[in-house]
Amino acid sequence: MKPQRPISSVSHRAFYSLVQYCPDLARLEAANVGVVIFCAEPSYLRVKLSKNHKRISQMFGRGNRDLKRLAAIESGLEEKLTSGRSDLCSLEQLNQLAAMQVNTLRMTQFMPCRISDRPDEDVNQLYQELVEPKSTQEVLARQETLTRTLEARFAAPEIDVRIRRKVKVRIPFLGREEEIPYACQNGRLNLIAPVTFPKSQSGLEERAAKYALEGESVYESSDPQFGQMQMLVVGHFETTTFDGIGTARRILEDHRVRLFAREELPVLIDEIRTHGHVISA
């Protein structure tokens, strides 16, 4: 058996930018083709770009594209970032560079993340999570497995009578109506969302932040039909390199979103059984 990478106790504040291919700037549709990670202290700046264009073909089809020119632009950007230039040694300077990328290859503004004492491995992991094409079937299978697990637990007679399914509510942060798979009333209406979290720390933090912002807007609003609500996330975590559950819980609960890891489902089921309101006919 391959030994697991030990959990690092060192964590540094860093920032990452996505390098994106955007063939039509008016449409703002883009394919991620690389990542850049910057850390001021200890000093660290790395870029990892795709060596093929599978992601582009996956999103936009094969079509007629000048991929040689794109490869040249990528090479120029990589050389610029790794040349040790004195005018690219701060977050402000890097964001200025990102803002200047107005051709088919662009960079997003730098976003916060964490890196360990093995930053090159963090770059590779972030690249795998955000850039490398994934099997759609594989991603859907993990989410479907989590949903099936929830459905099986909620099917018990004493739980089933307390669970609403496919609840449509307005998410103020998004400005639109969304369908939430499950909900249970116990004072507030708890909107229960099964979520599979990415392996990388930055990817996990980004997904947790998404649900945190949506959940906080739900908590602070009142639905015409259901009244006061709260978001509740049931999470599946695969990471073994850092405390993913603890990281997600900190982000979510700071914004009034409750988190139950998949392993904590018995606690949630017992709470629903004890405090959940039976749905009236």
pTM of the model: 0.55
DSSP-derived secondary structure letter, 9: S
Q: In which band, very low, low, confident or very high, does the pLDDT at 118 lie, cut at 50, 70 and 90?
A: confident
Q: What pLDDT is stored for residue 1 in this prediction? A: 35
Count how many domains the chain has.
Answer: 2
What is the structure's pLDDT at 246? 93
Please indicate, yes or no, if residue 4 is contained in any of the structural domains: no
268 and 144 inside one domain: yes
In this structure, the answer to whether residues 84 and 196 fall within a common structural domain is: no
**Distances 15 to 10, 36, 116, 197, 246 between C-alpha atoms, Å:** 16, 8, 13, 20, 21
CA distances from 220 to 125, 194, 231, 255, 260 (A): 36, 22, 11, 10, 21
Our CA dihedral for 50, 55, 60, 63, rounded to 10 degrees, sits at: 60
Task: Categorize the per-residue pLDDT at 2 as very low, low, confident or very high, splitting at 50, 70 and 90.
Answer: very low
232 to each of 84, 193, 200, how far by Cα in Å?
A: 46, 6, 22
In a domain? residue 1: no
Look-up: residue for tokens 């790395």? 46
195 pLDDT more than 70:
yes
Tell me the CA distances in angstroms from 275 to 215, 257, 262, 266, one per residue in order.
Answer: 21, 18, 20, 14
pLDDT at position 129 is 81
Residue 133 is predicted with a pLDDT of: 64
How sure is the predictor about 63, in pLDDT bands with cuts at 50, 70 and 90? low
In a domain, 226, yes or no: yes
Across the chain, mean pLDDT equals 85
Query: Is 205 contained in some domain?
Result: yes
Q: Is 119 in the same domain as 211?
A: no
- pLDDT band at residue 62 using 50, 70 and 90 as cut-offs: low
Q: What is the mean pLDDT of residues 96-101?
A: 86
Q: How far out from the chain centre does Cα 90 lie?
A: 26
* Residue at 166 is within a domain: yes
Contacts 24+ apart (CB under 8 A), 100-104: 101/77, 102/25, 103/73, 104/21, 104/22, 104/23, 104/70, 104/73
pLDDT tens, 198-230? 887 877 888 899 999 999 999 999 999 999 999
Query: Is residue 7 domain-resident?
Result: no
- Higher pLDDT pick, 66 / 256: 256
Q: Which tens digit of pLDDT belongs to each residue from 124-164?
A: 888 888 887 665 556 667 778 888 999 999 999 999 999 99
CA–CA distance, 234 with 258 (Å, rounded to integer): 9
**Structural domain that includes position 37:** 12-130
Flag whether 43 is in a domain.
yes
168 shares its domain with 231:
yes
What confidence category does residue 10 fall into, taking pLDDT thresholds of 50, 70 and 90?
low
pLDDT at residue 64 greater than cutoff 80: no
